[in-house]
Amino acid sequence: MTETQTRRQQLLDTAAELFAARGFHGVSVADLGAACGISGPALYKHFPSKEALLAEMLVAISEQLLAEGQARVADATSASEALSSLVDWHVDFALRHRALIVVQDRDWSSMPAESREQVRTLQRAYVDLWAAQLRLLDPRLPLSAARAMAHAAFGLINSTPHSGLLPADEMRGVLTAMALRALGSPVPGSPGLGSSGLGSSDS
């Protein structure tokens, strides 16, 4: 692999892989060190604690997701173009960083409180970025419903680590198409879906 990376980055990458496979509490610092060719407490030359390593990992990806998402929305000329670009970005990210995707919503609760709050804020902003575009497409859509739809789209796209059964190229096509269809027309016109009706017709 890329041997030119710094030891610090190697620790982050390897930790992502191990945490994704066995969970934060299921990986000891000795395991992590061994997987990096060093052993045990050498980790503390690069991070103040095991929790701090996790925090840096998750804060970094939350920032990256949000920053690129904002850039793409800014560059778009319509809501549908923005959403399409957001989907492409998130699919690309999920395919390139499967391990990080798993760790993010699995070991979120193992982070120190302050970083946990930071990630929560970043994630909320990212969700609202999607939700805003959805509400531009259908202004009758309540914010809470738009947020739920964004979360559902993330769940769909983030399913890729759990099913590594397609080559990345084909998986990209499947996920992109499904996500765009799922977000397509926010109000269900189809019959037989029950009487819930998503409210919001009058407010």
Instruction: Please state, in angstroms and rounded to a whole number, the distance separating the CA atoms of residues 93 and 68.
Output: 10
- Which 8-state DSSP code applies to residue 56? H
9 makes contact with DNA (CB under 7 A): no
28 binds, among DNA, a copy of itself, none (CB under 5 to 8 A by kind): DNA
Q: Which is nearer to DNA, 31 or 63 (CB)?
A: 31
Binds DNA (CB under 7 A): choice among 17, 23, 33, 138: 33
Instruction: Please state, in angstroms and rounded to a whole number, the distance separating the CA atoms of residues 29 and 45.
Output: 12
Binding segment (CB under 7 A) for DNA, from list 41-49, 96-104, 123-131, 161-169:
41-49
Binding segment (CB under 7 A) for DNA, from list 31-39, 57-65, 137-145, 161-169:
31-39
Question: For residue 194, how many other CB atoms are within 10 A of its CB?
Answer: 6
Binds DNA (CB under 7 A): choice among 17, 46, 118, 137: 46
Instruction: Please state, in angstroms and rounded to a whole number, the distance separating the CA atoms of residues 143 and 168.
Output: 33
CA-nearest of 126, 121, 114, 111 to 158 is 126
Instruction: Please state, in angstroms and rounded to a whole number, the distance separating the CA atoms of residues 82 and 88.
Output: 10
112 binds, among a copy of itself, DNA, none (CB under 5 to 8 A by kind): none
Q: Which is nearer to DNA, 39 or 121 (CB)?
A: 39
200 binds, among a copy of itself, DNA, none (CB under 5 to 8 A by kind): a copy of itself
Contact 91, 176 (CB under 8 A): yes
Binds DNA (CB under 7 A): choice among 15, 16, 20, 50: 50
Shortest separation between residue 6's beta carbon and a copy of itself, angstroms: 29
Question: For residue 101, how many other CB atoms are within 10 A of its CB?
Answer: 24
Q: Which is nearer to DNA, 55 or 100 (CB)?
A: 55
Query: Could you tell me where the beta strands, DSSP code E, fall in 156-197?
Result: none
